[in-house]
Amino acid sequence: MRRLPLYTLVLLAGLAHAEYKPAFGVGEDLLFKIRWGAITGGYSTLTVPRIDIKNGKPAYHIVSEARSTGFLDTFYKVRDSNQAWLDVEQPRSLGYEKDLREGKYRVQEKVRYDYTDYRFYREKNRLDTNTHKTQDGPIPSSVFDILGSFYYIRSMPLEVGQSVSIDVHSGAETWPLIVHVKKRAKVKTKAGKFDCFVLEPQLREPGIFIHKGKKLEIWVTADARRMPVLMRCDIMIGTITAELVKATLGKPAAALAKLIP
């Protein structure tokens, strides 16, 4: 099984851009149970632990981790970590890192986004094949990594029947991520009952536990938090679901100034 996209969409850039409303806060901590059919395959977390200084700018530090457990862990061990840094002052990513262990597959990657010359700088290490690669190339004036894009879209206005699109960078390519707002629906998880928007991203790159191009649906609350509570995606051998089991809300935007280093 490949990585499940706790696709992760954007940022509390509302301080400098009034059109963006905070959809999360520092301290937000979401725990998901991952199931492969009826089997509990592991757990995943989405957290916003703090604000860092990244490339000389204050940035929301976002972390996604996934870990297999039980039966799955005995034959396909997953230990994934993804980190993103979103500019506090402008809607854009400043950096992205991942450290993935999925079975025998092991990769580490770091990406830096430089908006003085509008280029990305990428370093990738395949530990399972002992290969190393560096790349750089152009980026637009505002771009998001895969994880950070999820937090940005959480902060955008959503309306049933409409779609939103943002520029996403992955690998050496920038492409438009289009997210359809399919419907409004109520859903019940172990964390409670929620009134949600059902989103369907059009995928071009793999996420956590998912193959490129497969169908993904995400239930986010229809309130100001836009909190993800359920994710469901098709893979080559069935369906993977991620269900919210515990949530800690973050600090409101009013407290932001006290958090900036």
Range name among 5-14, 40-49, 157-166 with the lowest pLDDT average: 5-14
pLDDT: which is higher, 206 or 188: 188
Quick: pLDDT tens for 66-78. Answer: 999 988 888 889 9
Whether pLDDT at 194 is above 90: yes
Q: What is the mean pLDDT of residues 17-36?
A: 79
Q: With 0-12 CB in 10 A as exposed, 13-18 as middle and 19+ as buried, what is 261?
A: exposed
pLDDT: which is higher, 101 or 72: 101
Q: Which residue has the tokens 């239930």?
A: 219
pLDDT: which is higher, 49 or 17: 49
**pLDDT score at 252:** 57
Provide the whole-model pTM.
0.84
| Mean pLDDT for all residues in the chain | 84
Those residues with Cβ within 8 angstroms of residue 89's Cβ, 6 or more apart along the chain or in another chain: 13, 15, 16, 57, 58
What percent of the chain is predicted at pLDDT more than 70?
A: 83
Quick: pLDDT tens for 10-25. Answer: 322 333 334 456 588 8
Q: Which residue has the tokens 């960078």?
A: 169
Quick: pLDDT tens for 127-157. Answer: 999 999 999 999 999 999 999 999 999 988 8
Range name among 19-28, 65-74, 110-119, 200-209 with the lowest pLDDT average: 200-209
Whether pLDDT at 205 is above 60: no
pLDDT: which is higher, 12 or 109: 109
